[in-house]
Structure 1
């Protein structure tokens, strides 16, 4: 597992790492067959397949069981959208990740129970504990710290300034990458990329080539392919039914 963790970390410092997120074994196998070197999960897509809503509404046991099935199905590193960590203590969170066969994780700073954002210093302390637990386990789990200041639910008056502040705190806590979800614009990404690896998203303004030119280290797609696939399949079925009439 250490070799997979080391590979995942190296991929954040070379050619931009593109991660089309998976939700089950079949989708993970397709990602690998298409030539991608890492499988990332989407919590929203996995929860949907399991019959739950996103936002830590699914039992963590079910989420990690799904991850274990995915990791067992593919020969490449797997990184997990672990939401806010499901309230698990850092050492247990790391143990569950490794038990499932994962070597990376997203951890967001939204408080799904109280609402709004977790205090930045408290989140940095938690991230440092996750890093310490991974080091103690002998597997350098790659931590992608999601920063939720750009989400409407955050209530932050100056999302960019707070994102930059949180990114600095989280990096000093030992994370490998920061992910300003909802903030993929040139004006937002430039100051964040200056501090270290950043996870971006494609938008109408920024395609993969534009993100690469800005120095973005990693791009993920969340539940986009899962939802698009369901919609495309349903649209095809409706069209076939109409033709059969």
Structure 2
């Protein structure tokens, strides 16, 4: 039996209340990087919708640090589906996979986890209902996940499941949202990639060899192009449009 502290109860309630009406990828990203991070810190959240045979029909990855194309391809194409199959073949309980351990129901996925660049994964999913089942994977937790963390994620499962079902099937732009008036430049995308990693204007400037004022000016132009008001919304909008 898991007994929650007063602070954990507060974090959990806040996470549940803010996750009840998630309706698009932008909202899901902001929730995952806000309330969910406070309760269960992680580097990436992989959301998969599976059919009655356990085949992944849809896969979305929300990540707080920059992942290259190879890592994303591995998550979507190999590790995610393998984790989903292994989890569904087990006891339908939260399961942990760690890079340095060989045991457990997910052990066959250990090599893929190492290749993905993550040290651990926490997996939970809904019951195998045909056409509506889902599996969620938290990757890169900064601590060794255990029963307590699996319990938290299991409590959040209904809200994650419904959010995934609500996402538009073919496009992640909400109705009424227009595409940007122009494509973002390579410099703007490079700045946004570092903003997504949580870097300040000064850190981005130092990395790219430009001034902090130039970074600020680039971001202001990006806000106008995307129709957003701040850094977090800019990153979420780019994810919504698959620009990052």
| TM-score calculated relative to the size of structure 1 | 0.28
| TM-score calculated relative to the size of structure 2 | 0.28
- Choose 1 or 2 for highest CA Rg: 2
